[in-house]
Structure 1
């Protein structure tokens, strides 16, 4: 089996890890062809290679034609739909991902929004950005979109920053900006700094893909949509296995739902007029893995518990204890999706008193157990 996926990104690594997990679970002894590849490097079927199946990021027409000509069963894990109906596809739900990003900013009480696509994807029909914009419009807001054709890849780096910085300067503030990927997001942050715009208090930046390395090297650290690379890889391997066994057709489509946003410093701003409430929210973000209580939030905010509860209800329509729970659940979902950690370890890392407490929270909020959640994300 051939894996034609770049290994230079967190997304690619997570995808390959998901494929490996499927092989572990199903007991398959596939001989896997995999080579190191860059994100925008053209991928091809190796000359002389005659395998039984392919999992590939089919991001160009030439690769799609190669696959169809070879007649080898393939699962495309890209948002590109080359070979639609003839090459199976397993990918993150683009439109639901865009809507999740919009909900994230709306929950942070933003009123101004923008979207920036990528000049490195000239043939991509941007359903992700369109869904983000449409959801905001349905909620009564305008989404400012970076004007086509976007950044010229041949431009000097400093000119690209000036161009982006000029656009950011003209946006209403404070503005929540969504970018399609980590590369574009990092460029937005650089452009904001160049234009002397604070991130995140003036311009918040959210990346539409997950890459821990890219986030960690960015200052401020980059918030990212969890694009469930491990789950996509796992389900893609499962789909390919079914196709090779004759149990699925070669044009099948499997979409994986996004789960949450991994919040870092680049969106660490809630558009609220009350600094006391913001101190409480930051405290939850930084300390959810500890056994914190509502009283601890009130102490950090410098107010009584009763006033804190009133502020949460007035501005966020949620209780402080529910806020703590939701942050813990988001981290638990992230670990269940991207790791093989035991339930006891996940519960401990997320601030739950025990695995049983975490299980009850999952049942109450998501109507399924943590084990079932993990199985569902992995096609079980």
Structure 2
């Protein structure tokens, strides 16, 4: 008989819906768990959880009170949030938040920016980790960042939490940032607020402030003006591993001593960060050339031919400004695009290779493995 599983994950965002899909995928593939439903959507409200008669629970528990309630049920559970620091006796599956922060920094550094800020609500542990990764990556490149704490005017709890940002406080802090500035945020909701406050200040986006968020929540990113750049979490994988872990816990296996962390998905660049803040026009032109043609089999020689300086001069200036070689920038652009295609389309690996500028599938697979540590097929199925 399959284990009866209760889900306390409100499908209120792309991220949470994808987590649910991962859970359902594990259930379909293994037939080891069955999701309890008491309505059309596979969700059990907190107040009805005791009545569900579940063998285990996968929950989105943000508060210590919710975690204590889950413990009181005396059944295995897996938490999908890190709002609180992890305790040794808790099973948690979550994104690698430090890596998220590092990738936010990588993106903004790649724009040629030299001023940075990080916006978030730092009472939440996962936001602290994202800031930690962001600052660590900046320090490696010789930079620092202003930390901006988001305050809430209201915080209404319930099955769905509604939080209203204190825009006046955020606006006053953004007004003091040097320009141009790259602003990374912990969530797309905060990125939206940054964009709105920046526009109220009369500051151009992305030319005064470039903004990037986390979750790639389409309902937010696509309806913000300009559209938001954002890192996608590998949410299906998180859900899948949570279901697998709960299955193991129900069978009596021990709770992992640390959270299971999942590498984030690709960063989807949109107009909120489409800006090259480079003083070196030749380097800026080279990067623009790459970004416009990474789907073609371009080489360093093609970029030099488009430049007004020698190859050696351009190579030296590029590395000095960006921090890596021209060839590496071409590979990064191709790999980011390939990751996006693999995670968001059903294109074959051959088509992904061609659209990412590779002239052979074997060369693409080899390069992709070197960059990600896995094959394109495994990346798509993760």
TM (norm. structure 2) is 0.81
Deviations along 1:100-135, one digit per CA (max 9) or x if unpaired, are 32233334332211111138x678772322442354
Q: Which runs of 5+ in 2 are unaligned?
A: 156-162
**Structure 1 residues 273 and 213, CA, compared in 2 at 3 Å: closer, same or farther?**
same
Of 243-252 and 183-192, the range deviating more from structure 2: 243-252
Shift of 1:82: 7.0
Residues 1:219 and 2:228 aligned together: no
Moved over 6 A (4+): 121-125
Of 198-207 and 360-369, the range deviating more from structure 2: 360-369
In the other structure, the counterpart of 2:262 is 256
Shift of 1:265: 1.6
CA contact (8 A) 2:86 2:259 kept: no
Q: Of 4, 7, 12, which aligns to 2:11?
A: 7
In the other structure, the counterpart of 2:279 is 273
CA contact (8 A) 1:64 1:83 kept: no
In the other structure, the counterpart of 1:113 is 116
In the other structure, the counterpart of 1:153 is 154
In the other structure, the counterpart of 2:238 is 232
**Structure 1 residues 126 and 50, CA, compared in 2 at 3 Å: closer, same or farther?**
same
Task: Tell me the SS of whatever aligns to 1:55.
Answer: strand
CA contact (8 A) 2:138 2:144 kept: yes
In the other structure, the counterpart of 1:58 is 61
Task: Tell me the SS of whatever aligns to 1:221.
Answer: coil
Deviations along 1:190-220, one digit per CA (max 9) or x if unpaired, are 1111101111111111113322332111222
Task: Tell me the SS of whatever aligns to 2:377.
Answer: helix
Q: CA RMSD in A?
A: 3.5
Distance across 1 between alignment mates of 2:227 and 2:143: 27
In the other structure, the counterpart of 1:101 is 104
Residues 1:31 and 2:32 aligned together: no
Of 180-189 and 213-222, the range deviating more from structure 2: 213-222
Residue pairs, 1:1-380, within 5 angstroms: 1-28=5-32, 30-33=34-37, 43=46, 45-46=48-49, 48-81=51-84, 84-118=87-121, 126-137=128-139, 139-147=141-149, 150-153=151-154, 160-249=166-255, 253-258=259-264, 260-292=266-298, 297=303, 303=308, 306=311, 309=315, 311-337=317-343, 342-366=348-372, 368-374=374-380, 378=382
Deviations along 1:152-185, one digit per CA (max 9) or x if unpaired, are 238xx99944432322121112111111111110
Shift of 1:304: 7.0
CA contact (8 A) 1:60 1:82 kept: no
Distance across 2 between alignment mates of 1:83 and 1:127: 12
CA contact (8 A) 2:295 2:354 kept: yes
Task: Tell me the SS of whatever aligns to 1:19.
Answer: helix
**Structure 1 residues 363 and 267, CA, compared in 2 at 3 Å: closer, same or farther?**
same
**Structure 1 residues 54 and 331, CA, compared in 2 at 3 Å: closer, same or farther?**
farther
Task: Tell me the SS of whatever aligns to 1:236.
Answer: helix
CA contact (8 A) 1:294 1:321 kept: yes
Distance across 1 between alignment mates of 2:219 and 2:289: 25
TM (norm. structure 1) is 0.82
CA contact (8 A) 2:152 2:165 kept: no
Distance across 1 between alignment mates of 2:40 and 2:193: 28
CA contact (8 A) 2:84 2:124 kept: no
Shift of 1:373: 4.2
Distance across 1 between alignment mates of 2:146 and 2:287: 28
CA contact (8 A) 1:239 1:248 kept: no
Distance across 1 between alignment mates of 2:190 and 2:48: 29
Distance across 1 between alignment mates of 2:277 and 2:178: 13
**Structure 1 residues 280 and 136, CA, compared in 2 at 3 Å: closer, same or farther?**
closer
Distance across 1 between alignment mates of 2:258 and 2:73: 18
